[in-house]
């Protein structure tokens, strides 16, 4: 009899292990796609403008659209997750990402903009729901899984920045070069679809159906306000610099391919450093130190790009890359906050919808300031101010944190 009762238990444990491994692989594959479409567009911005002939306003709008989509679509993520369940919502999101990237193969400005809106709206849903999925599936390994998927995200961003220009040359146009990145998104859709179809005994499905915590109630708390402020400022700085760094360097005489490589270096820094930063962030004092280090590094990198952009561009890129590690830090705070998945989703929705709305002003302001002044001094001076504000918000967020 003991053997008969042990067999089902063993089967359930085995099924749970397989489901956990497939979930981890699927989450990491989605993370790989979270910056491919954005980083490739940044590296190809000048080539797209030359090929499609769009206006300076469209050139300023294109790096801004992801943040606007993240703000708009992210605000409705909680309602969609309650209606479909978290897993099906993510499946719909990666499907939208795949379709949006594929649409950008059409060599027309309308297709570029429409595909960006659709694809980035899918990304918005993934951005909000991934912390909830990580907390639900891996409650004892939130830091590890957050580090893994933010590292994978940085790997995708690095890959796209480094090879976007050669890929576009190989396929014959920048529009087709953008559409190539629909292929890994399709792979993520297929794998996550396989995960969504698994229903095994003993494996808890992530769901916030029947639970409702208003994100706006979180906005009235100190934690909600500070997380949102920090998230918005780090996203503003990140999207402004990754969206315009190749153009800034090209404007100072660097080739497009080399400028893409410098951007790749900035994004590659996060691959080994994210785990070190998250390891440093153990305990209140470590968390405070980690927030201060990454924000100060971003401030130093921006200073170098303002004062002497071509003197040591790789040094500035490394400092900026260290600054980009603020993203996994704030995600860890979000994933570890709240009394359960519903509250985590509410905080994630609040910080990412309002935060990305603030972030959208960064790339747009940089583009418009550059077009108005014909140089990069005013845009970089603006980013210096926002980097200083990010540092102050990080110190406030970690002050008195238990």
Mean pLDDT of 207-217: 60
Instruction: Match 């900035």 to its residue by tokens.
Output: 266
Cα–Cα distance measured from residue 198 to residue 3, given in angstroms and rounded to the nearest whole number: 27
pLDDT digits (tens, 9 = 90+) for 320-360: 999 988 888 887 788 777 666 667 777 877 887 788 888 88
pLDDT value at residue 127: 76
221 Cβ neighbours under 8 A, 6+ residues apart: none
Cα–Cα distance measured from residue 310 to residue 4, given in angstroms and rounded to the nearest whole number: 71
pLDDT digits (tens, 9 = 90+) for 21-32: 888 888 888 888
pLDDT value at residue 203: 45
pLDDT value at residue 21: 80
Cα–Cα distance measured from residue 212 to residue 65, given in angstroms and rounded to the nearest whole number: 29
164 pLDDT above the threshold of 60: yes
pLDDT value at residue 115: 92
* Residue 11 confidence class, pLDDT cut points 50, 70, 90: low
Residue scoring higher pLDDT (167 or 328): 167
The DSSP annotation for 15-73 comes to HHHHHHHHHHHHHHHHHHHTTHHHHHHHHTHHHHHHHH---HHHHHHTTTHHHHHHHHH
Which helix (H) or strand (E) is 364 found in, with range? helix 361-373
pLDDT digits (tens, 9 = 90+) for 95-111: 999 999 999 999 999 99
* Residue 13 confidence class, pLDDT cut points 50, 70, 90: low
pLDDT value at residue 156: 84
Q: Work out the percent of the chain whose per-residue pLDDT is above 70.
A: 87
207 pLDDT above the threshold of 50: no
177 Cβ neighbours under 8 A, 6+ residues apart: 40, 44, 164, 165, 167, 168, 169, 170, 171
Q: Is 280 helix (H, G, I), strand (E, B) or coil?
A: helix
276 Cβ neighbours under 8 A, 6+ residues apart: none
pLDDT value at residue 318: 93
pLDDT digits (tens, 9 = 90+) for 39-77: 788 778 888 888 888 888 888 788 778 878 877 766 677
First to last CA, the chain: 49
Among the listed residues 145, 44, 37, the one whose alpha carbon sits nearest the alpha carbon of residue 94: 37
* Residue 6 confidence class, pLDDT cut points 50, 70, 90: very low
Q: Do 332 and 280 meet the contact criterion of CB atoms below 8 Å apart?
A: no
**Residue 113 tokens, joined:** 């903009």
Cα–Cα distance measured from residue 289 to residue 103, given in angstroms and rounded to the nearest whole number: 44
pLDDT value at residue 209: 47
368 pLDDT above the threshold of 70: yes
379 Cβ neighbours under 8 A, 6+ residues apart: 240, 244, 248, 365, 366, 369, 370, 373
Cα–Cα distance measured from residue 273 to residue 83, given in angstroms and rounded to the nearest whole number: 38
Mean pLDDT of 271-295: 79
**Residue 309 tokens, joined:** 């952009």
* Residue 305 confidence class, pLDDT cut points 50, 70, 90: very high
When computed from its CA atoms, the radius of gyration of the chain, rounded to whole angstroms, is 21
8 pLDDT above the threshold of 60: no
Instruction: Match 């780090």 to its residue by tokens.
Output: 234
pLDDT value at residue 103: 94
pLDDT value at residue 208: 46
Residues in the chain: 402
19 pLDDT above the threshold of 60: yes
Cα–Cα distance measured from residue 93 to residue 107, given in angstroms and rounded to the nearest whole number: 24
């Amino acid at each position: 009899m003991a053997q008969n009762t042990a067999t089902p238990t063993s089967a359930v444990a085995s099924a749970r292990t397989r489901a956990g491994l497939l979930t981890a692989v699927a989450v990491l594959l989605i993370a790989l796609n979270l910056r491919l479409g954005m980083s490739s567009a940044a590296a190809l911005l000048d080539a797209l403008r030359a090929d499609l002939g769009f206006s300076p306003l469209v050139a300023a709008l294109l790096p801004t659209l992801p943040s606007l989509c993240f703000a708009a679509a992210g605000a409705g993520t909680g309602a969609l997750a309650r209606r479909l369940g978290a897993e099906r919502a993510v499946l719909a999101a990666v499907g939208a990402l795949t379709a949006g990237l594929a649409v950008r193969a059409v060599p027309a400005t309308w297709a570029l903009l429409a595909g960006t809106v659709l694809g980035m709206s899918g990304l918005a849903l993934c951005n909000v729901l991934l912390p909830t999925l990580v907390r639900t599936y891996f409650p004892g390994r939130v830091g590890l899984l957050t580090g893994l998927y933010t590292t994978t995200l940085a790997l995708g961003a690095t890959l796209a920045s480094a090879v976007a220009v050669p890929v576009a040359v190989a396929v014959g146009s920048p529009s087709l070069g953008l559409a190539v990145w629909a292929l890994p998104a399709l792979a993520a859709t297929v794998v996550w679809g396989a995960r969504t179809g698994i229903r095994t005994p003993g494996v808890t499905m992530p769901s916030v159906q029947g639970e409702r915590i208003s994100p706006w109630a979180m906005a009235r708390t100190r934690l909600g306000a500070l997380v949102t402020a920090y998230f918005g400022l780090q996203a503003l700085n990140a999207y402004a610099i990754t969206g315009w760094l190749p153009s800034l360097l090209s404007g100072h005489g660097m080739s497009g391919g080399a400028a893409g490589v410098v951007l790749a270096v900035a994004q590659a820094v996060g691959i080994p450093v994210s785990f070190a930063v998250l390891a440093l962030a153990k305990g209140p004092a470590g968390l405070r130190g980690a927030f201060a280090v990454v924000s100060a590094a971003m401030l130093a990198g921006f200073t170098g790009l303002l004062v002497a952009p071509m003197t040591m561009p790789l040094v500035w890129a490394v400092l900026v890359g260290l600054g980009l590690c603020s993203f996994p830090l704030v995600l860890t705070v979000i994933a570890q906050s709240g009394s359960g998945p519903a509250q985590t989703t509410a905080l994630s929705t609040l910080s990412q919808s309002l935060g990305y709305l603030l972030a959208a002003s960064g790339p747009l302001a940089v583009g418009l300031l550059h077009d108005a002044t014909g140089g990069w001094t005013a845009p970089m001076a603006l980013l210096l101010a926002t980097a200083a504000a990010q540092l102050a918000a990080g110190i406030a967020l970690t002050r008195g944190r238990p």
